Structure 1
């Protein structure tokens, strides 16, 4: 598919039913996920940062977009980008990041309202709306369909204020966002409340242990898109930790029983899963 067709396909997925969009962290993980049958992928800022030996948030825009371009080029699927907060504060910078994401081959992307500063973690309301409006205008001025996602980050930064989160999401919707996202919502009831308060599709990210809901329950609540954020990368790192600890500790080799064979990996990398 060319970029225009990918943009159309991605937009169509948001018209229902609910779809799951996993987040690969490099071209290889993207090919594996595509080979499993997913219809769209998204980058992960956290997962990519960990491949560089860094914490989430310690990646430059150029590095993130290069990673996104690698992923988009590796698969014949729509790919959306985790574009953090646009990497600078001004609305013009958010808009510029959207345009650069499109140049990298993406057909969607999210901008969050988190500042990256511990002393003031969330942009104030007016600044947040201005940033979303600028990014949405940039997205909708592109020569192909680009799905723009606006993120309200309150719950990820200790601000457990559902009313303010909904106020922000409603304002982002009015400012032109195509999809809305409030990561960290605590439970299914909060998710239902948000779904009822907005008319654009809501994305929910799978992120916590002992998750309080299932995919089926999210679908019943009206969620239209699920992403995995850094959780698949964490699962992969957990597998690496456990295998390496087994080898270093008891010296048993049961980890080999769970590993993919080289032939299986090669099939996915070649785009021909068994």
Structure 2
């Protein structure tokens, strides 16, 4: 079984209280820590990688993002999925080639550019081109940004999800969907659902799974936890 097949299989036949939990590695060191802790796969957060490279979220040049993702994937033996934001304007074929060269098994692709939601039909067409270029070699997680962009209606997320699944997305990610909406999203969406979790507060991954999550990721949350721990150590050691 290839890494991609293994990663895809991790999303199947899960108990409601046992969603797939993916730690968000921002560099090779954090990736090794998470892999050694027993995570079966990792997912890079673009905001976390950006912070580690000294950029604001959304400002990382494509070449630096792919270089960082390559280092992370090379550092561990578990599958890695990469958040590559909106694809950096790359044509689908080139985007797929860059991802495969980086050694990852999947990707997050968001449906907004800057702070503006894309037309869902045009985005679905683009996702279909990515799927056609990738075949079965990449697990495509289609991020849905409606809740981030102030569209609170779960129905709007469900409509986009239907288009993206029809286009070939393996999973959809209504980022920042309020937990109360998850049962409705679960009922209306075919296939796996990625849910944003907080590693220190709010519902646990098991809780989110019971509400409808297939998998849980934390964005840059684990980096923020590590940064806070380092800040406390530095404060204690500083003269």
TM-score, structure 1 as length reference = 0.80
RMSD: 1.8
Contact kept in structure 1, 2:3 and 2:79, CA below 8 Å: yes
Deviation per residue, 1:171-198 (Å, 9 max, x gap)? 10011101111110012x3111111111
The alignment of Structure 1 onto Structure 2 pairs a total of residues equal to 235
Distance in 2 separating the partners of 1:16 and 1:30: 26
1:186 and 2:178 matched: yes
Shift of 1:233: 0.5
Aligned to 1:136: 131
For 2:197, which of 183, 203, 206 is the aligned residue? 206
Contact 1:201 1:225 in 2 (8 A): yes
Q: Which has the larger radius of gyration?
A: 1
Shift of 1:84: 0.3
2:223 counterpart SS class: helix
Runs of 4+ aligned structure 1 residues displaced above 3 Å come to 207-210, 245-248
Which 5+ residue runs of structure 1 have no aligned equivalent?
252-274
Aligned partner of residue 154 in structure 1, secondary structure: coil
Moved more, 201-210 or 61-70: 201-210
From 79, 88, 96, the equivalent of 2:94 is 96
1:52 positional shift: 1.8
For residues 209 and 77 of structure 1, the distance between their equivalents in structure 2, rounded to whole angstroms, comes to 24
Q: Which has the higher relative contact order, 1 or 2, with Cα contacts under 8 A spaced 6 or more apart?
A: 2
Query: 222, 226, 230: which one pairs with 1:236?
Result: 226
Structure 1 residues 190-232: Cα deviation after superposition (integer angstroms, max 9, x where no partner): 1111111112111112148642x22222222232111121100
In structure 1, C-alpha distance between the alignment counterparts of 2:228 and 2:113, rounded to whole Å: 29
**Whole-Å separation in 1 of the counterparts to 2:71 and 2:192:** 27
The alpha-carbon distance between structure 1 residues 16 and 105, as it changes in their structure 2 partners (threshold 3 A), is same
> Scaled by the length of structure 2, what TM-score is found?
0.92
